[in-house]
């Protein structure tokens, strides 16, 4: 999975499986011992990356705290995951728009992220986004998050500042 992530980031989804196998230090035939096809590999990687991101975002989640603290913890964890795992983030972005990822895999990933989706829905309905569709609200939140991540990665000296400013903008959008 690590090799597939690295190859997707450097060569894209059209990279040959032989390149992925070589990066993993195994023969191309051995790759198909673990995965039925390249599409199966991509679907499994998508699930693994989504689960890892969700797990990281929810780490130390303050269930009993007020809503702002909960959202800030989720945001901070998500930003930390993204800046600590830029290859995973980039591979996930490519896989996310790939036709290779099946509807069943997307549904399984959605279940993995159900608690995050519930919190995002609570954020949407609690403030100025309440009249927006789920998809529109999610796109706005995601765009803000991606922009914040990019600035944190490209300006690490000010990463904490970017994280806090991004959160404040998010908070204003949802309250």
Burial (Cβ within 10 Å: 0-12, 13-18, ≥19) of residue 103: exposed
Domain boundaries, the chain: 38-174
25 sits in the region (left: phi over 0; alpha: psi -120 to 50; else beta) called: left
Q: How far apart are CA 92 and CA 80, in angstroms?
A: 16
User: E-assigned strands of 60-173?
Assistant: none
Q: What pLDDT is attached to residue 114?
A: 84
Least confident of 67-76, 80-89, 120-129: 120-129
Q: What is the 3-state secondary structure (H, E, C) of 136-155?
A: HHHHHHHHHHHHHHHHHHHC
**Length of the chain, in residues:** 175
- Inform me whether the pLDDT recorded for 85 exceeds 90: yes
Q: What pLDDT is attached to residue 123?
A: 82
Q: What pLDDT is attached to residue 20?
A: 96
| Rg, C-alpha atoms of the chain | 18
Q: Architecture of 38-174 per CATH?
A: Orthogonal Bundle (1.10)
Burial (Cβ within 10 Å: 0-12, 13-18, ≥19) of residue 123: buried
Confidence of residue 118 (pLDDT cuts 50, 70, 90): confident
Q: How far apart are CA 108 and CA 114, in angstroms?
A: 10
pLDDT in tens, 13-37: 999 999 999 999 999 899 999 999 9
Q: Is the pTM of this model over 0.85?
A: yes
Q: How far apart are CA 127 and CA 108, in angstroms?
A: 29
Confidence of residue 115 (pLDDT cuts 50, 70, 90): confident
Confidence of residue 99 (pLDDT cuts 50, 70, 90): very high
Look at 81 and 116; give whichever has higher pLDDT: 81
Q: How far apart are CA 144 and CA 161, in angstroms?
A: 15
Q: What pLDDT is attached to residue 137?
A: 87
The pair of structure tokens assigned to 125 is 């309905």
Cβ neighbours for 40, distance < 8 A, ≥ 6 positions apart: none
Report the percentage of the chain scoring pLDDT > 70.
Answer: 100
Q: Which of 126, 108, 116 is nearest to 54 (CA)?
A: 116
């Amino acid at each position: 999975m690590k090799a597939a992530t690295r190859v997707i980031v450097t060569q894209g989804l059209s990279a040959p499986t032989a390149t992925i196998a070589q990066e993993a230090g195994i023969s191309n035939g051995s790759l198909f011992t673990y995965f039925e096809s390249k599409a199966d590999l991509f679907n499994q990687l998508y699930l693994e990356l989504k689960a890892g991101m969700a797990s990281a975002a929810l780490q130390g989640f303050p269930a009993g705290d007020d809503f702002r603290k909960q959202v800030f913890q989720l945001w901070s964890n998500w930003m930390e995951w993204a800046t600590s795992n830029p290859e995973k983030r980039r591979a996930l972005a490519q896989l996310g728009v790939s036709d290779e990822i099946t509807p069943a895999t997307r549904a399984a990933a959605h279940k993995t992220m159900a608690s995050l989706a519930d919190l995002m829905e609570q954020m949407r309905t609690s403030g100025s986004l309440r009249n927006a569709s789920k998809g529109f609200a999610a796109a706005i939140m995601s765009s803000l998050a991606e922009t914040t991540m990019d600035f944190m990665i490209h300006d690490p000296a000010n990463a904490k500042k970017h994280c806090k400013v991004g959160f404040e903008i998010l908070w204003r959008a949802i309250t």
